Amino acid sequence: METTCICGDPETSKNHSFGAVSVPIYQTATFAHPGIGESTGHNYTRESNPTRDELEKTVSALEGAVDTVACTSGMAAISLMMELFDSGSHFVCTEDLYGGSVRIFEALEKKRGFSFSYINTADVEAVEKAITDQTKALYIETPSNPTMQVTDLAEMSRLATKHGLLLIVDNTFLSPYLQNPIAQGADLVVHSGTKFLGGHNDTLAGFLCTPIKALAEQIRYLFKTIGSGLSPFDSFLVLRGIKTLSVRVERQQENAMKIASWLKEQKKVTDVYYVGLPEHPGYEINQKQSRGAGSMISFRTDTEETARKVLERVKLISYAESLGGVESLITYPMLQTHGDVPVEIRERLGITETFLRLSVGIENVDDLIADLEQALA
């Protein structure tokens, strides 16, 4: 995995012009034809571009996919994916989804006649009960955003096969370095490449991967038709980020475990949600299907006043949306990432005024703990 992060597809990366070690940025909109009916393999960047191709092949290698498309954002990748389905389709989804996913699903309910059932997908029986004759796919986030629920992907694959459904997994939180849903039976994998894959909070990107050739062909046709392809320069930035994915994630995960353990001991913290803690209800399943717990922590404070004080007093940690970068970020999900989720659903999930989400970076862990300590004081 570490070598794939660096080298990607050896056949592609070893054939750069002039022996360039880094992928060149092919900042061109169009490509000349050698002759009538002939092509260099690229015609127009909306359809394909050599820089983006290398990124897509690298992500395919990391996820075990036959093909991947790189989009302008994670939401663009989800939008593209939903074009695979006909009007009237029903989806069974993890109840605790990224708020942007819920927002686009609500829009599609109105415009396309789609319907969505939000279920605790850790409960296999509840998932099966939610499947109807109109159900076309299971849409899973594990760990979920932001309450860190864990879903058994092998069980979801079993249900998908039994009922003739597609299994879709958002793998943003763990990245392909720690979890490979395709190996667990997923048919489609989506990523916000802005997060761990890019890793530096400096560019937006999204990915849609599949191990199924027929699906890959459909996706490629929609991709070039809709025009959601990532630019050559942004493709270069994400490729550069992936080269350090393994070392970044290892350091972030190490820091997260220390911070989660420290948070457990704080009087003003009532609950800590981190899948690397043995007491987490999804610990064993996550251990079974992944290679680590990642670096996303959520925690609950004793009062709303404490939560707001933390957000306003952190100095090293930034109060900002997003996650997965080298910088540590803290977020107020009820106002930010999940602001569009109906209040009654948020409160049922526990995303309240006292709930905070922390994306742990690669800073010195003692400095991060000291920052949290002074903010909680």
Catalytic residue set = 46, 98, 170, 195
Rounded alpha-carbon distances, angstroms, from residue 276 to 95, 260, 292, 360: 21, 9, 7, 13
Burial of residue 299, with CB atoms counted within 10 A of its CB: 0-12 exposed, 13-18 middle, 19 or more buried: buried
Which tokens sit at 308? 């707001």
Q: Tokens at residue 73, please?
A: 């954002």
The helix (run of H) or strand (run of E) holding residue 369 is helix 365-376
How many Å apart are CA 258 and CA 235, to the nearest integer?
Answer: 33
**Segment holding 63, helix H or strand E:** helix 50-63
Q: How far apart are CA 94 and CA 143, in angstroms?
A: 10
Neighbours of 165 (CB within 10 A): 20
Distance of CA 265 to the CA centre of its chain: 30
- Specify the pairing of strand 115-119 against strand 90-94: parallel
Tokens of 179: 């979890």
> Any residues with CB less than 8 A from the CB of 67 and at least 6 apart, and which?
56, 60, 209, 210, 213, 216, 219, 220
Q: For residues 283 and 332, what is the distance between their CA atoms, to the nearest angstrom?
A: 25
Residue 183, phi then psi, degrees to nearest 5: -65, -20
Instruction: Read off the amino acid at residue 133.
Output: D
Q: Within 13 A of 322's CA, how many CA atoms are on the CB side?
A: 25
